[in-house]
Amino acid sequence: MRGAGMISGMNDEPGRILHWNFFIGGHLSASVPVRLVERTDRGQLVWMETRTPMWRTKLPGGAHLRDIAPGDRPADGYPVVADRWPMGSALFYQPDDAAHSVLWLFGRRKKFRGWYVNLEHRVHRGDDIDIADHELDINVAPDRSWRWKDEESFAEKTGDPAYWSADEASAIREEGHAVARLAEAGTFPFDGTWCDFRPPRSWKTPPRPPVPRHPLL
């Protein structure tokens, strides 16, 4: 379950609007417009602004998609509703051919508050960045200490054909260990670069994108 395909040859203009589409167990959870910050031969950086207009899956009773078994979901996916990104702003590093992203998290007044490692399978399709979430993640504090997140729910999903096999789970966890070793060593992306990032003033909040073209991955 290695990650993204190569993305060279695309429009590399900073500020270009892309669509970050987040899938859980094959079903769309959220679609949020992001802006390209930088693309290199190692991967790309994108910026997600808090309160950006987005689409999210409309679920019954305020449930979360990860808590609804794929077999209990509608065969063609849930409808989506207009919303705004409720979390804080973040800078995403999406390395080519890797099964993770690293986020710089920013709080009020864009104050850096730590990193977040999202373990995932990522595919680039034109302006779409399609993310199949791997549930298991890592929180990395500003001092580079780290801890696993969602280990219990990751274990519960292991073996479900909508998620990952036991062998794939081992590969996902090893991907996390490899990134954690970078944090322990203080090497990129945990070397202090980009912690003071501020988006250009000319970047307005992106408009809500068209209704997502596919509710299923």
pTM over 0.75: yes
Nearest-angstrom CA–CA distance, 1 and 172: 8
Specify if 1 maps to a domain: no
Specify if 93 maps to a domain: yes
Task: Provide the residue range defining the domain that includes 25.
Answer: 17-185
pLDDT tens per residue across span 138-178? 999 999 999 999 999 999 999 999 999 999 999 999 999 99
CA 184 to chain centre: 22
At 61 the pLDDT is 84
pLDDT tens per residue across span 36-86? 999 999 999 999 999 999 999 999 887 889 999 999 999 888 999 999 999
Specify if 215 maps to a domain: no
- Listing DSSP states for 100-129 in one string gives EEEEEEE-GGG-EEEEEEEEEEEEEETTEE
CATH, residue 178: 2.40.380.10
Question: Residue 6 pLDDT more than 50?
Answer: no
Specify if 198 maps to a domain: no
